[in-house]
Protein backbone atom coordinates (compact mmCIF):
# COMPACT_ATOMS: atom_id res chain seq x y z
CA UNK A 1 0.00 0.00 0.00
CA UNK A 2 1.30 3.44 -0.98
CA UNK A 3 0.01 6.83 0.17
CA UNK A 4 0.40 9.84 -2.15
CA UNK A 5 0.10 13.28 -0.58
CA UNK A 6 -1.92 15.49 -2.93
CA UNK A 7 -1.77 18.74 -0.90
CA UNK A 8 0.38 21.84 -1.09
CA UNK A 9 2.24 23.01 2.01
CA UNK A 10 0.48 26.01 3.59
CA UNK A 11 2.90 28.93 3.80
CA UNK A 12 3.07 32.68 3.21
CA UNK A 13 4.50 32.27 -0.27
CA UNK A 14 1.76 29.89 -1.38
CA UNK A 15 0.29 30.99 -4.71
CA UNK A 16 -3.27 32.39 -4.52
CA UNK A 17 -5.89 32.97 -7.20
CA UNK A 18 -5.71 36.51 -8.68
CA UNK A 19 -7.64 38.86 -6.37
CA UNK A 20 -7.71 36.42 -3.42
CA UNK A 21 -6.13 37.32 -0.05
CA UNK A 22 -2.55 36.30 0.58
CA UNK A 23 -1.81 33.80 3.34
CA UNK A 24 -0.37 35.10 6.61
CA UNK A 25 1.39 32.88 9.15
CA UNK A 26 2.09 34.88 12.30
CA UNK A 27 4.02 33.59 15.28
CA UNK A 28 1.50 33.99 18.11
CA UNK A 29 3.59 32.45 20.85
CA UNK A 30 7.19 31.28 20.97
CA UNK A 31 8.89 28.81 23.29
CA UNK A 32 11.54 31.37 24.26
CA UNK A 33 8.97 34.06 25.17
CA UNK A 34 5.81 32.16 26.22
CA UNK A 35 7.08 28.68 26.98
CA UNK A 36 5.18 27.17 24.05
CA UNK A 37 5.01 27.63 20.28
CA UNK A 38 1.81 28.49 18.34
CA UNK A 39 0.89 30.36 15.14
CA UNK A 40 -2.02 32.46 13.97
CA UNK A 41 -3.01 31.65 10.38
CA UNK A 42 -4.98 34.04 8.17
CA UNK A 43 -5.95 32.58 4.81
CA UNK A 44 -8.71 32.51 2.23
CA UNK A 45 -10.95 29.46 2.05
CA UNK A 46 -9.68 28.95 -1.51
CA UNK A 47 -5.94 29.26 -0.78
CA UNK A 48 -3.73 26.32 -1.64
CA UNK A 49 -5.21 22.85 -2.03
CA UNK A 50 -8.91 23.22 -1.27
CA UNK A 51 -12.39 21.93 -2.04
CA UNK A 52 -15.26 24.12 -3.29
CA UNK A 53 -18.71 23.55 -1.76
CA UNK A 54 -21.95 24.17 -3.72
CA UNK A 55 -22.53 27.51 -1.89
CA UNK A 56 -19.47 28.93 -3.69
CA UNK A 57 -21.68 29.55 -6.75
CA UNK A 58 -25.14 28.17 -6.05
CA UNK A 59 -27.85 30.23 -4.32
CA UNK A 60 -29.02 28.18 -1.30
CA UNK A 61 -26.33 25.58 -2.11
CA UNK A 62 -24.81 23.58 0.77
CA UNK A 63 -21.97 25.24 2.63
CA UNK A 64 -18.87 23.15 3.30
CA UNK A 65 -19.92 22.20 6.85
CA UNK A 66 -23.25 20.84 5.59
CA UNK A 67 -21.96 18.61 2.77
CA UNK A 68 -22.08 15.01 4.13
CA UNK A 69 -18.55 13.94 5.04
CA UNK A 70 -18.74 10.75 2.94
CA UNK A 71 -18.95 13.00 -0.14
CA UNK A 72 -15.24 13.76 0.28
CA UNK A 73 -13.95 10.21 -0.18
CA UNK A 74 -14.28 7.53 -2.81
CA UNK A 75 -12.61 5.77 -5.72
CA UNK A 76 -10.44 7.94 -7.94
CA UNK A 77 -8.80 8.06 -11.33
CA UNK A 78 -6.40 10.57 -12.93
CA UNK A 79 -6.86 11.65 -16.54
CA UNK A 80 -3.71 12.95 -18.28
CA UNK A 81 -4.59 16.26 -19.97
CA UNK A 82 -1.06 17.69 -19.90
CA UNK A 83 -1.05 17.59 -23.72
CA UNK A 84 -4.35 19.53 -24.01
CA UNK A 85 -4.10 23.24 -24.83
CA UNK A 86 -7.39 24.83 -23.86
CA UNK A 87 -10.44 22.65 -23.17
CA UNK A 88 -10.90 19.10 -21.95
CA UNK A 89 -13.94 17.70 -23.74
CA UNK A 90 -16.17 14.81 -22.70
CA UNK A 91 -14.74 12.92 -25.69
CA UNK A 92 -11.17 13.28 -24.37
CA UNK A 93 -12.20 12.01 -20.94
CA UNK A 94 -14.05 9.10 -22.49
CA UNK A 95 -11.02 8.13 -24.59
CA UNK A 96 -8.49 8.50 -21.73
CA UNK A 97 -10.66 6.44 -19.36
CA UNK A 98 -10.96 3.83 -22.10
CA UNK A 99 -7.15 3.52 -22.20
CA UNK A 100 -7.24 2.77 -18.47
CA UNK A 101 -10.19 0.36 -18.94
CA UNK A 102 -11.98 2.33 -16.26
CA UNK A 103 -15.70 2.82 -15.87
CA UNK A 104 -16.43 5.70 -13.55
CA UNK A 105 -19.70 5.81 -11.69
CA UNK A 106 -21.55 6.95 -8.61
CA UNK A 107 -19.24 8.16 -5.84
CA UNK A 108 -16.08 8.34 -7.99
CA UNK A 109 -13.58 11.20 -8.29
CA UNK A 110 -12.04 12.20 -11.60
CA UNK A 111 -8.81 14.20 -11.44
CA UNK A 112 -7.14 16.10 -14.25
CA UNK A 113 -3.35 16.20 -14.52
CA UNK A 114 -2.44 19.37 -16.44
CA UNK A 115 1.19 19.54 -15.34
CA UNK A 116 0.57 23.06 -14.03
CA UNK A 117 1.66 22.13 -10.50
CA UNK A 118 5.05 21.11 -11.84
CA UNK A 119 6.47 21.89 -15.27
CA UNK A 120 3.60 23.95 -16.66
CA UNK A 121 3.63 26.57 -13.87
CA UNK A 122 3.00 30.16 -15.04
CA UNK A 123 1.65 28.95 -18.36
CA UNK A 124 -1.98 28.54 -19.30
CA UNK A 125 -3.67 25.37 -18.16
CA UNK A 126 -6.56 23.52 -19.80
CA UNK A 127 -10.00 23.72 -18.22
CA UNK A 128 -13.07 21.48 -18.33
CA UNK A 129 -15.64 22.03 -21.07
CA UNK A 130 -19.31 22.29 -20.20
CA UNK A 131 -20.07 19.01 -22.01
CA UNK A 132 -17.34 17.27 -19.98
CA UNK A 133 -18.87 18.61 -16.76
CA UNK A 134 -22.31 17.46 -17.88
CA UNK A 135 -20.99 13.97 -18.62
CA UNK A 136 -19.25 13.69 -15.23
CA UNK A 137 -22.29 14.97 -13.33
CA UNK A 138 -24.58 12.55 -15.15
CA UNK A 139 -22.33 9.66 -14.05
CA UNK A 140 -22.98 10.64 -10.44
CA UNK A 141 -19.37 11.35 -9.46
CA UNK A 142 -18.73 12.76 -6.00
CA UNK A 143 -16.14 15.21 -7.18
CA UNK A 144 -13.58 16.39 -9.70
CA UNK A 145 -10.13 17.84 -9.15
CA UNK A 146 -7.30 19.58 -10.96
CA UNK A 147 -3.64 20.43 -10.31
CA UNK A 148 -4.24 24.04 -11.43
CA UNK A 149 -5.80 27.11 -9.77
CA UNK A 150 -9.26 26.54 -11.28
CA UNK A 151 -11.37 23.98 -13.13
CA UNK A 152 -12.63 26.72 -15.50
CA UNK A 153 -12.46 30.46 -16.20
CA UNK A 154 -15.04 33.25 -16.12
CA UNK A 155 -18.04 33.10 -16.39
CA UNK A 156 -17.48 29.85 -14.42
CA UNK A 157 -20.16 27.79 -16.16
CA UNK A 158 -18.44 24.53 -15.18
CA UNK A 159 -18.25 25.57 -11.52
CA UNK A 160 -21.97 26.43 -11.61
CA UNK A 161 -22.95 23.23 -13.38
CA UNK A 162 -20.94 20.85 -11.18
CA UNK A 163 -21.71 22.56 -7.87
CA UNK A 164 -25.37 22.85 -8.91
CA UNK A 165 -25.42 19.05 -9.27
CA UNK A 166 -23.69 18.54 -5.92
CA UNK A 167 -20.29 17.63 -7.42
CA UNK A 168 -17.50 19.09 -5.25
CA UNK A 169 -14.39 20.61 -6.88
CA UNK A 170 -10.78 20.19 -5.71
CA UNK A 171 -8.28 22.78 -6.93
CA UNK A 172 -4.52 23.24 -6.61
CA UNK A 173 -3.88 19.55 -6.06
CA UNK A 174 -0.26 18.37 -6.43
CA UNK A 175 1.51 15.09 -7.25
CA UNK A 176 -1.28 13.83 -9.53
CA UNK A 177 1.49 12.63 -11.89
CA UNK A 178 2.33 9.94 -9.32
CA UNK A 179 -1.12 8.46 -9.92
CA UNK A 180 -1.06 8.46 -13.72
CA UNK A 181 -2.08 5.07 -15.03
CA UNK A 182 -3.71 4.10 -11.73
CA UNK A 183 -7.46 3.76 -11.44
CA UNK A 184 -9.64 2.85 -8.51
CA UNK A 185 -7.32 4.13 -5.78
CA UNK A 186 -9.00 5.44 -2.62
CA UNK A 187 -9.15 9.23 -2.47
CA UNK A 188 -9.72 11.12 0.78
CA UNK A 189 -9.86 14.93 0.95
CA UNK A 190 -11.67 16.13 4.05
CA UNK A 191 -12.42 19.84 4.48
CA UNK A 192 -12.41 21.67 7.79
CA UNK A 193 -15.94 22.02 9.18
CA UNK A 194 -16.18 25.78 8.59
CA UNK A 195 -19.61 27.14 9.51
CA UNK A 196 -21.10 28.72 6.39
CA UNK A 197 -17.89 28.03 4.44
CA UNK A 198 -17.79 28.37 0.64
CA UNK A 199 -14.74 26.07 0.56
CA UNK A 200 -11.98 24.78 2.81
CA UNK A 201 -8.31 23.91 2.69
CA UNK A 202 -7.87 20.11 2.64
CA UNK A 203 -5.20 17.51 3.27
CA UNK A 204 -5.91 15.31 0.29
CA UNK A 205 -4.37 11.86 -0.11
CA UNK A 206 -4.64 8.83 -2.35
CA UNK A 207 -4.29 5.34 -0.94
CA UNK A 208 -2.96 3.10 -3.71
CA UNK A 209 -3.25 -0.65 -3.20
CA UNK A 210 -1.93 -1.77 -6.56
CA UNK A 211 -0.30 -0.11 -9.59
Least Cβ distance, residue 48 to Zn ion (angstroms): 10
Euclidean distance between CA atoms 173 and 8, whole angstroms: 7
What residues have CB less than 8 Å from 160, skipping those under 6 apart? 57, 58
Least Cβ distance, residue 67 to Zn ion (angstroms): 14
Least Cβ distance, residue 21 to Zn ion (angstroms): 13
Subset of residues 162 to 181 that bind Zn ion, contact rule: CB under 5 A? 171
At 2 the three-state DSSP class reads strand
Least Cβ distance, residue 52 to Zn ion (angstroms): 4
| String marking each residue 20-59 x if it binds Zn ion according to CB under 5 A | --------------------------x-----x-------
Size of site (CB under 5 A) for Zn ion: 4
Rounded to a whole number of angstroms, the CA Rg of the chain reads: 17
- Residue, CB closest to Zn ion: 46
Long-range contacts of 37-46 (CB under 8 A, 24+ apart): 41/10, 43/10, 43/201, 44/16, 44/20, 45/194, 45/197, 45/198, 45/199, 45/200, 45/201, 46/16, 46/17, 46/20, 46/171, 46/198, 46/199
Nearer to Zn ion, 147 or 171 (CB): 171
Nearer to Zn ion, 46 or 160 (CB): 46
Least Cβ distance, residue 72 to Zn ion (angstroms): 14
Subset of residues 182 to 201 that bind Zn ion, contact rule: CB under 5 A? 199
Euclidean distance between CA atoms 25 and 201, whole angstroms: 15
CB 177 within 8 A of CB 155: no
**Whether 94 is catalytic:** no
CB 51 within 8 A of CB 73: no
Q: Which of the following is catalytic: 46, 50, 56, 159?
A: 56
| String marking each residue 102-121 x if it binds Zn ion according to CB under 5 A | --------------------
Check residue 160 for interaction with Zn ion (CB under 5 A).
Answer: no
Residues identified as active-site: 56
Q: Which residues bind Zn ion (CB under 5 A)?
A: 46, 52, 171, 199
Amino acid sequence: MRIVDLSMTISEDMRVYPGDPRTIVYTWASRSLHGYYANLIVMGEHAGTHVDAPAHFVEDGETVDLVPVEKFMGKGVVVDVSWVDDEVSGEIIHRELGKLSTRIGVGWFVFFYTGYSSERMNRDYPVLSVDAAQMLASRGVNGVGIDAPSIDHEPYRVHRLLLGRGVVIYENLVNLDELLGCAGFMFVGFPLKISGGSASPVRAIAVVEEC
